[in-house]
């Protein structure tokens, strides 16, 4: 489990394609405190550390992960938002994020708004109902508050700290983002669908 508060911007060191794809990420994390088998959110996708070496960790990504996230488009040098998993007693600074990507959203626009940046994002078809004004969403692993919603498009503001300390600083319209809907919204939608199915019998 994660909070959507990015604590490092890593960089893809290497990609080795075999049965699964092994991806190595350079990081500033103290890897002596990261166990083999630990979970790290990489651009919002929960990945299991299988190897550590010289300032980098590696994980294996399945074909499923590559096809359903942005990982399949990564190359050596790609910047990646990183967050280590929560430990009991850690501050919950963002919102609860599972690291399970629900779909790929598209960045529609980026504009300066005072000292901040306002971005408009288009949710993938079928996920628009999980996005609500003043609710939460995770984009490339970053916990964000939704300002407004119009159809599949929604807007969020990025304060200077978020802009400077995440990969959003290099994003451009047309870029694809890993999107995870709010955990509460997911269960509410499931409950409503279940009740509707029962009521329709």
CATH class of the region 103-195: mainly beta
Q: Which fold has domain 8-84?
A: Elongation Factor Tu (Ef-tu); domain 3 (2.40.30)
Share of the chain above pLDDT 70, in %: 94
List, for residues 97-132, the tens digit of each pLDDT value: 999 999 999 999 999 999 999 999 999 999 999 999
CA atoms of 146 and 130, how far apart (whole Å): 11
Q: Measuring CA to CA, how many Å separate 141 from each of 82, 84, 97, 115?
A: 8, 11, 8, 22
Residue located via tokens 């300032």: 55
Q: Note whether 8-84 and 103-195 share their fold.
A: yes
The domain limits of the chain are 8-84, 103-195
Helix (H) or strand (E) holding 185: helix 183-199
List, for residues 132-189, the tens digit of each pLDDT value: 999 999 999 999 999 999 999 999 999 999 999 999 999 999 999 999 998 777 667 6
Strand partners, 105: 177
């Amino acid at each position: 489990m994660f909070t959507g508060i990015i604590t490092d911007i890593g960089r893809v060191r290497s990609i080795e394609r075999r049965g699964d794809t092994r991806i190595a990420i350079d990081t500033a994390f103290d890897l002596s405190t990261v166990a083999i088998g630990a979970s790290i959110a990489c651009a919002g996708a929960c990945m299991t550390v299988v190897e550590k070496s010289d300032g980098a960790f590696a994980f294996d990504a399945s074909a499923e992960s590559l096809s359903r996230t942005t990982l399949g488009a990564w190359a050596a040098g790609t910047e990646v938002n990183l967050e280590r998993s929560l430990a009991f007693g850690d501050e919950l600074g963002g919102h609860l994020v599972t690291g399970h990507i629900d779909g790929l959203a598209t960045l529609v626009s980026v504009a300066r708004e005072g000292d901040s940046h306002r971005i408009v994002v288009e949710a993938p078809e079928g996920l628009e109902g999980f996005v609500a004004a003043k609710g939460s969403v995770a984009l490339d692993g970053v916990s964000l508050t939704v300002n407004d919603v119009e159809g599949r498009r929604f807007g969020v503001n990025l304060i200077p700290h978020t802009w400077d300390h995440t990969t959003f600083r290099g994003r451009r319209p047309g870029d694809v983002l890993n999107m995870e809907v709010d955990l509460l919204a997911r269960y509410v939608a499931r409950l409503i669908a279940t009740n509707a199915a029962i009521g329709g019998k």
